[in-house]
């Protein structure tokens, strides 16, 4: 399976399918390594089509004073237009408050709301630990009953990130909130945001409840639980997910569980997914497991997935050729179909 350093080298690859695949790997595995945002900005600068660089997946990438300064310069120089500019603004605003302060004067000079939002983010960084907890809880309670698109979700995410960074949320506090939350109440976002906190705190004790959340018909909750399990990413997570996958028949659970397993950067995940694929008889679930193997960079699975593509898979669910193409390039493995597949993606 991939290492983060192996994937990092492909962030500036000349083939945008490959470079975007590398961005997606870091975005979905959370297996960050030093210097990835610098390389994303290098790719952005060298691309003749900046809107095709997957900046929307880099919102949570780790930042440094250098990357924040580079992004501020790009925005103030008006070098970027369209969606790439909007995505770069959001990446910048997701940076830690302490990194935003030195570039605030530049952002305040922009003819949009970037400076105002940066000021708000910096104010979050000035709250005490108790104020962070209280403000987060107040915002969650005020969000009750709202549709997701009506939430101030950027503000809520900022509060969670800062609370975790400042150790304002203890494991006991988060677990208590998860125990009290009603995951079946789709109008209450408590389970959603404290699941997010559990993942960012890497709370292994929360794994059983997070796995149960994968059964939820609330997509937002299931997605946050999946992200949390990936962030925790221990062998215990892998073993419990694989065990539940083998027992359960619920379609949604199995698809989410396969997604989680494929995004976990632990050696046990590769062997677990391979074993599950060998026993899987549902074509859609087999397709998802095969895609998971490609995403994690399983070199030994390349011929297995190639045979599945040849034999027939659920191409209405997803196109297995693209993840296998990226897996082959990053593993420096040739298949005679690669050139033909690439042409079909363009």
The model's pLDDT over 129-168, given as tens digits with 9 standing for 90+, comes to: 999 999 999 999 999 999 888 999 889 999 999 999 999 9
Residue 112 banded pLDDT, cuts 50, 70, 90: confident
pLDDT of 333: 96
Q: Is the pLDDT of residue 276 over 80?
A: yes
Averaged pLDDT score across all residues of the chain: 95
Residue 80 banded pLDDT, cuts 50, 70, 90: confident
3 state SS for the chain: CCCHHHHHCCCCCCCHHHHHHHHHHHHHHCCCCCCHHHHHHHHHHHCCCHHHCCHHHCCCCCCCHHHHHHHHHHHHCCCCCHHHHHHHHHHHHCCCHHHHHHHHHHHHCCCCCHHHHHHHHHHHHCCCHHHHHHHHHHHHHHCCCCCHHHCCHHHHHHHHHHHHHCCCCCHHHHHHHHHHCCCCCCCCCHHHHHHHHHHHCCCHHHHHHHHHHCCCCCHHHHHHHHHHHHHHCCHHHHHHHHHHHHHCCCHHHHHHHHHHHHHCCCHHHHHHHHHHHHHCCCHHHHHHHHHHHHHHCCHHHHHHHHHHHHHCCCCCCCCCHHHHHHHHHHCCCCCCCHHHHHHHHC
Total-model pTM? 0.95
Q: How far apart are CA 339 and CA 134, in angstroms?
A: 55
pLDDT of 137: 94
Q: Is the pLDDT of residue 346 over 70?
A: no
pLDDT of 14: 95
Question: What is the share, in percent, of the chain residues with pLDDT greater than 90?
Answer: 90
Q: Is the pLDDT of residue 10 over 70?
A: yes
Q: How far apart are CA 275 and CA 67, in angstroms?
A: 41
pLDDT of 318: 95
Q: How far apart are CA 184 and CA 219, in angstroms?
A: 11
pLDDT of 344: 86
Residue 267: name the closest of 229, 228, 238, 301 by CA. 238
Of 104-108, 165-169, 179-183, which range is least confident?
Answer: 179-183
Residue 307 banded pLDDT, cuts 50, 70, 90: very high
Q: Is the pLDDT of residue 58 over 70?
A: yes
Say if residues 183 and 218 touch (Cβ distance below 8 Å). yes
Residue 188 banded pLDDT, cuts 50, 70, 90: confident
pLDDT of 187: 86
pLDDT of 172: 95
Rounded to an integer, the average pLDDT of 31-55 is: 96
């Amino acid at each position: 399976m991939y290492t983060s350093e192996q994937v990092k080298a492909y962030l500036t690859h000349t083939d945008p399918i490959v470079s975007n695949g590398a961005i997606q790997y870091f975005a979905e595995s959370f297996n960050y390594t030093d210097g990835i945002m610098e390389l994303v900005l290098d790719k952005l600068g060298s691309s003749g089509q900046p809107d095709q660089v997957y900046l929307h997946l880099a919102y949570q990438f780790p930042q440094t004073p250098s990357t924040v300064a580079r992004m501020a310069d790009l925005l103030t120089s008006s070098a970027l237009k369209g969606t790439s500019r909007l995505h770069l603004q959001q990446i910048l605003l997701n940076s830690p408050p302490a990194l935003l302060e030195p570039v605030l004067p530049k952002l305040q000079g922009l003819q949009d709301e970037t400076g105002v939002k940066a000021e708000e983010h910096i104010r979050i960084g000035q709250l005490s630990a108790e104020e962070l907890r209280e403000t987060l809880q107040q915002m969650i309670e005020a969000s009750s009953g709202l549709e997701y698109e009506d939430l101030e979700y950027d503000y809520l995410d900022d509060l969670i990130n800062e609370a975790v960074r400042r150790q304002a949320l203890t494991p006991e506090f988060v677990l208590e909130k998860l125990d009290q939350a009603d995951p079946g109440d789709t109008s209450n976002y408590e389970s959603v945001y404290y699941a997010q906190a559990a993942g960012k705190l890497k709370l292994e004790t929360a794994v059983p409840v997070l796995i149960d959340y994968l059964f939820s018909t609330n997509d937002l909750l299931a997605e946050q639980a999946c992200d949390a399990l990936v962030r925790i990413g221990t062998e215990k997570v892998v073993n419990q997910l694989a065990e539940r996958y083998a027992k359960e028949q619920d379609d949604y659970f199995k698809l989410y569980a396969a997604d989680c397993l494929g995004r976990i950067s632990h050696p046990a995940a590769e062997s677990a997914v391979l074993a599950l694929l060998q026993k899987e008889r549902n074509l859609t679930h087999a397709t998802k497991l095969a895609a998971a193997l490609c995403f994690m960079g399983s070199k030994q699975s390349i011929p297995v997935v190639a045979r599945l593509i040849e034999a027939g898979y659920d191409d209405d669910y997803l196109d297995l050729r693209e993840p296998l193409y990226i897996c082959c390039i990053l593993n420096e493995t040739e298949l005679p179909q690669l050139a033909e597949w690439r042409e079909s993606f363009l």
